[in-house]
């Protein structure tokens, strides 16, 4: 059987599936049940000075029949006393010594505050620490969470303060509410982070009630922005993980978070450079038992690919992720319609006609039957028709043999610049060329 064990900056785990710091990891009771169910690790609900939470705090976007396509919350960090959490962490680690227990921390950006909490939490026996620089609401208004996580200098300084006191590996959890995620990832590395994790939630307002005109959710008629997560944020999270993974200055391991609900999602994050994954919304939606499918799916996939361990997957797609300027402008695909499977719903024709390049034709054969055909010479290979087609496999995007050598925008500009330099030379200079 394939080896599912992972190692994130020295933090070992029986499998790559951790519960993210959130409601599922709020108490010892929950984390212990999660470990019994099979989760490899858990990041405890963020510890700090306990807060008071609002009543009414979650909302979800249900999209076209899919419940919880996106999830929104205005919950803050733990509302339980630190001593209670530490006692339960101690008991949980004692009962499950081989499972991974990481404590998430958030305190004011002051050196002594970081030293104090790190020491107290490590005394409870955790395997590592995760610094929460990501929570976008409530705590941010008090100068913590994403308020400090959006400032690279504060990320660097606080990471360094935590590291001064820490004996266990320090993971820095990043906020996605920033233009360039690598700016704060690099700051965490400069501060001495052993690993980074991303993403925390994205600033959001789930909706407005059309009858009451209240925000969704609202607290007695008033709302505030929350944090968005769940399946809808997966592409954003995956991109941010990939951007960090391919950046030479972000050379620490990555824990991937954001919209992961299936083993396939997890594999995508691993391929893009994550050493493990963390999950919140999918566990809140379906319960701890989803970990069985995650483990089975990943195990079968590794066997199918004839790979011995999860490590053989990590980062395998990083080199396939680049800048737009490096893409081959001479590569071409075209759409081909399989008339045997096409049900002639006409969706592809409308899409191409109204919003793409008007190259799907409705033709009539000798027997008088209509069919659709792509005029390949005008097809730009945008994929839109295949995306809107409701029949799997009715439209295939086919690679055309390239008539020209690969040429990216960057190569093209470099070649043009060279030509320009040559044309600026005098005739005498050109003789030697
Ligand atoms: C209700 C709720 C509470 C959360 N609380 C915390 C928290 O205390 N600390 C933290 O680092 N992240 C917290 N998060 C963020 C999650 O750990 C995770 O980063 C985010 O939900 C993205 O993962 P997902 O798409 O699997 O949910 C919370 C998320 C939710 C939905
Ligand atoms: S790939 Fe784009 S351009 Fe080509 S047929 Fe489909 S919609 Fe039209
Ligand atoms: S969208 Fe698909 S099924 Fe519908 S007409 Fe086009 S190819 Fe056929």
Distance CA 58, CA 296 (A): 31
295, 166: one domain: yes
Q: Would 411 be classed as within a structural domain?
A: no
Residues 349, 200 share a domain = no
Residue 377 has pLDDT above 60, yes or no: yes
Q: Closest Cα partner for 245 from 298, 313, 191, 332? A: 313
Q: What is the dihedral of CA 15, 18, 24, 26, to 10 degrees?
A: 110
Q: What is the mean pLDDT of residues 203-208?
A: 96
Residue 335 Cβ inside 6 Å of ligand 2? The answer reads: yes
Decide the pairing of beta strands 360-364 and 17-19: unpaired
Kindly report the number of other CB atoms within 10 A of residue 197's CB atom. 33
* Nearest Cα residue to 51 out of 173, 138, 147: 138
| Nearest ligand (C-alpha, residue 382) | 2
Q: Inform me whether the pLDDT recorded for 432 exceeds 60.
A: no
Q: Is 135 a catalytic residue?
A: yes
- Among 295, 320, 345, residue at a domain's last position: 320
Residue at 415 is within a domain = no
Return the pLDDT at 428.
56
Instruction: Name the nearest CA neighbour of 198 among 232, 240, 158, 231.
Output: 240
pLDDT value at residue 276: 98
Secondary structure of residue 126 in the 3-state scheme:
coil
Between the CA of 337 and the centroid of ligand 3 the distance, in Å, is 8
- Tell me which of 135, 280, 348, 385 is the catalytic residue: 135
Q: Domains in the chain: how many in total?
A: 2
Which ligand gives the minimal distance to the CA of 385?
2
Residue 220 has pLDDT above 50, yes or no: yes
Domain assignment present for 413: no
Structure tokens at 342: 């096409």
**Residue 286 within a domain:** yes
- Ligand 1 atom at minimum distance from 279 CA: 26
Tens-digit pLDDT profile for residues 265-304:
999 999 999 999 999 999 999 999 999 999 999 999 999 9
Which ligand 3 atom is at minimum distance from the Cα of 344?
5
Residue 144 lies inside a defined structural domain of this protein: yes
Rounded mean pLDDT of 305-312? 98
| Ligand 1 neighbourhood includes 385 CB (under 6 angstroms) | no
Q: 26 in ligand 1 pocket by Cβ < 6 Å?
A: no
- The residue whose C-alpha atom lies closest to atom 2 belonging to ligand 3 is 389
Cβ(384) to ligand 2 under 6 A? yes
What percentage of the chain carries pLDDT values higher than 70? 97
Q: Does any domain span residue 297?
A: yes
The ligand minimizing its distance to the Cα of 342 is 3
- 343 Cα to the center of ligand 3, angstroms: 6
Give the model's confidence band at 97: pLDDT under 50 very low, under 70 low, under 90 confident, else very high. Answer: very high
In the listed set 320, 354, 375, which residue is the last one of a domain according to the structure? 320
- Is residue 356 within 6 Å of ligand 2 at its C-beta? yes
Is residue 427's pLDDT more than 90?
Answer: no
Enumerate the H helices of 78-173 as residue ranges: 82-95, 111-122, 146-149, 152-165
Is the pLDDT confidence value at 433 over 50? no
pTM of the model: 0.95
- For a mutational test of ligand 3's pocket, the pick from 340, 343, 369, i.e. the residue with the most ligand atoms closer than 8 A to its C-beta, is 343
Q: What is the structure's pLDDT at 148?
A: 86
- Asked if 226 contacts 200 with a C-beta cutoff of 8 angstroms, the reply is no
Q: Is residue 391 part of a domain?
A: yes
Average pLDDT over every residue of 212-234: 95
CA of 338 to the centre of ligand 2 (A): 14
Check whether residue 173 and residue 316 sit in a common domain: yes
Tell me, yes or no, whether 300 and 370 share the same domain: no
Has residue 419 been placed in a domain? no
Helix, strand, coil share of the chain (percent; to 5):
35, 20, 40
Closest residue by Cα to atom 2, ligand 2, is 382
Residue 6, pLDDT > 70, answer: yes
Residue pair 131/181 in contact (Cβ under 8 Å)? The answer is no
Same domain? 307 vs 334: no
Task: Identify whether residues 281 and 362 lie together within a single domain.
Answer: no
Stretch (H or E) spanning 372: strand 370-374
**Least confidently predicted of 75-79, 305-309, 351-355:** 75-79
> What CATH number does the domain containing 392 carry?
3.30.70.20
What average pLDDT does the chain have? 95
Task: Look at residues 128, 247, 235, 264 and name the one whose alpha carbon lies nearest to residue 176.
Answer: 235
Indicate if 56 and 156 belong to the same structural domain. Answer: yes
Q: How many residues does the chain have?
A: 433
- DSSP, collapsed to helix, strand or coil, labels residue 351 as helix
With a 6 Å cutoff on the Cβ, whether 46 touches ligand 1 is: yes
Residues 314 and 333 grouped into a single domain: no
Six token digits for residue 47:
């510890």
Confidence of residue 421 (pLDDT cuts 50, 70, 90): confident
Q: Which ligand is nearest to the CA of 353?
A: 2
Tell me which residue has tokens 């933090």.
11
What is the number of other CB atoms lying within 10 angstroms of the CB of residue 361? Answer: 14
Of 260, 289, 320, the last residue of a domain is 320
Atom index in ligand 2 nearest the CA of residue 358 equals 8
Statement to judge: residues 252 and 380 lie in one domain: no
State the number of CA atoms in the 13 A half-sphere of 36 facing the CB: 9
H/E element, 195: strand 195-198
Examine the domain organization and report whether 28 and 166 are in the same domain. yes
Which of 255, 289, 301, 230 has its CA nearest to residue 72? Answer: 230
Ligand 1 near 258 CB (within 6 A): yes
Largest Cα–Cα distance of the chain, in whole Å? 84
**Per-residue burial over 203-228, b = 16 or more CB atoms within 10 Å of its CB, e = otherwise:** bbebeeeeeeebbbbbeeeebebbbb
**Residue of the CA atom closest to atom 3 of ligand 2:** 379
Q: 207 and 91, same structural domain? A: yes
Tens digit of each residue's pLDDT (9 = 90 or more) over 154-191? 999 999 999 999 999 999 999 999 999 999 999 999 99
Domain that holds residue 361: 328-400
Dist CA 148 CA 295 (whole Å) = 36
Count of other CB atoms within 10 angstroms of residue 368: 6
Q: What CATH number has the domain bearing residue 90?
A: 3.20.20.70
HSE-CB at 42 with a 13 A cutoff on CA atoms is: 31
> Do 361 and 301 share a structural domain?
no
- 368 φ/ψ angles, rounded to the nearest 5 degrees: 90, 5
pLDDT greater than 90 at residue 341: yes
Partners of 353 in beta bridges: none
């Amino acid at each position: 059987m394939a080896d599912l064990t992972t190692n994130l900056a020295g933090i070992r785990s029986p499998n790559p599936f951790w519960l993210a710091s959130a409601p599922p990891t709020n108490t010892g009771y929950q984390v212990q049940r999660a470990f019994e169910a099979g989760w490899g690790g858990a990041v405890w609900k963020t510890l700090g000075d306990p807060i008071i939470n609002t009543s009414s705090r979650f909302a979800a976007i249900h999209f076209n029949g899919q419940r919880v396509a996106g999830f929104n919350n205005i919950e803050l960090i733990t509302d339980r006393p630190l001593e209670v959490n530490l006692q339960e962490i101690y008991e949980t680690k004692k009962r499950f010594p081989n499972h991974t227990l990481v404590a998430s921390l958030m305190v004011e950006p002051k050196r002594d505050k970081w030293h104090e909490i790190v020491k107290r939490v490590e005394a409870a026996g955790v395997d590592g620490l995760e610094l929460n620089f990501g929570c976008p609401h409530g705590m941010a208004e008090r100068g913590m969470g994403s308020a400090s996580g959006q400032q690279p200098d504060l990320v660097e300084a606080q990471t360094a303060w935590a590291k001064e006191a820490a004996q266990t590996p320090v993971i820095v959890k990043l906020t996605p509410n920033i233009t360039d995620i690598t700016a704060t990832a690099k700051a965490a590395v400069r501060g001495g982070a052993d690993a980074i994790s991303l993403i925390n939630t994205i600033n959001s307002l789930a909706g407005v009630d059309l009858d009451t005109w209240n925000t969704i959710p609202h607290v007695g008629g008033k709302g505030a922005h929350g944090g968005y997560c769940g399946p809808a944020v997966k592409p954003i999270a995956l991109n941010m993980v990939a951007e960090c993974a391919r950046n030479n200055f972000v050379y620490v391991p990555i824990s991937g978070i954001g919209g992961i609900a299936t083993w396939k999602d997890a594999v995508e994050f691993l391929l893009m450079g994550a050493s493990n994954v963390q999950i919140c919304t999918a566990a809140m939606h379906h319960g701890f038992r989803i970990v069985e499918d995650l483990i089975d799916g990943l195990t079968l996939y590794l066997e199918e690919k004839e790979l011995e361990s999860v490590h053989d997957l990590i980062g395998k797609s990083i080199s396939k992720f680049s800048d737009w300027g490096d893409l081959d402008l001479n590569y071409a695909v075209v759409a081909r319609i399989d008339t045997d499977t096409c049900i002639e719903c006409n969706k592809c024709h409308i899409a191409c006609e109204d919003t793409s390049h008007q190259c799907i034709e409705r033709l009539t054969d000798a027997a008088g039957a209509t069919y659709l055909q792509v005029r390949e010479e005008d097809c730009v290979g945008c994929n839109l028709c295949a995306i809107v087609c409701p029949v799997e496999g009715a439209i295939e995007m086919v690679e055309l043999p390239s008539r020209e050598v690969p040429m990216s925008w960057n190569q093209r500009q470099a070649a043009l610049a060279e030509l320009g330099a040559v044309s600026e030379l005098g005739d005498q200079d050109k003789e030697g060329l």
